[in-house]
Structure 1
């Protein structure tokens, strides 16, 4: 083997080692921001599925016992699967989350479980979900920071048509009232 071919082979192996990824693309590092994000997302989705699956209880109360028994088995199966997914995702969040996110996740799961009781509980679930997502965004660093004026101005500019429409409706209401 000549010196040139040995040098080319060594350079090729070095270049291949530099270009080759250090871990597979599907691998999420343990304890990383990506792992926490995935756990938080799974928990929010599982709670939403639990709320949707528990809607049958409201409907069964409105249509009587016979209709409720007719649809009970597949709906109950879906509800139990959603409840199981919620508990699994809550356990995962408990493993990776900070204490503040952990308490908000538990509150979200509790309100999702009680959301079938009526409109007040459903609104409590919506409030808990919004609080959970706001805390998760701040914890993961997705929230707008005070020094990111370009992101604040962008959000303000995108909301501009809504503000203009609200002003137009106020003017029309004032004109109609006078």
Structure 2
């Protein structure tokens, strides 16, 4: 009996090893990568910026790496370096829209943006940190409320006042 048990385990282990070797090395889907890169954690942000620096490794996915950084707002307001946070935010918006998954992910993308901004602010102390956090909150509120394009405004008419949709 002991041999069967060991033999059975050996067969199962061998089968698992064969399956693992047969799996493609790059099994991640486009949506999995987008999800991995749009979480609120610092590791998600780091993974995104690493991928952005190595865009060629992800060419098969057809990501839109384009960015206007912080749009019409300063990229580094009052000297606070928010530019990279805006770049990751743009990536999330552009790519989830292209995949038709924007509505389901907008809130998380905006939350990740806010967490990125707060991590920038954690590098300061005292009144400077307070000022940075207030600026981060303002940027977050702007994208949370106004973070849609003019073309998308009709879909959000019930969530955004008409005057805002027209101005955006």
Task: Decide: shared fold, TM above 0.5.
Answer: no
Q: Which has the larger radius of gyration?
A: 1
TM-score (norm 1): 0.30
Task: Specify which structure has the bigger relative contact order, considering alpha-carbon pairs within 8 angstroms and separated by 6 or more residues.
Answer: 1
More helix by share: 1
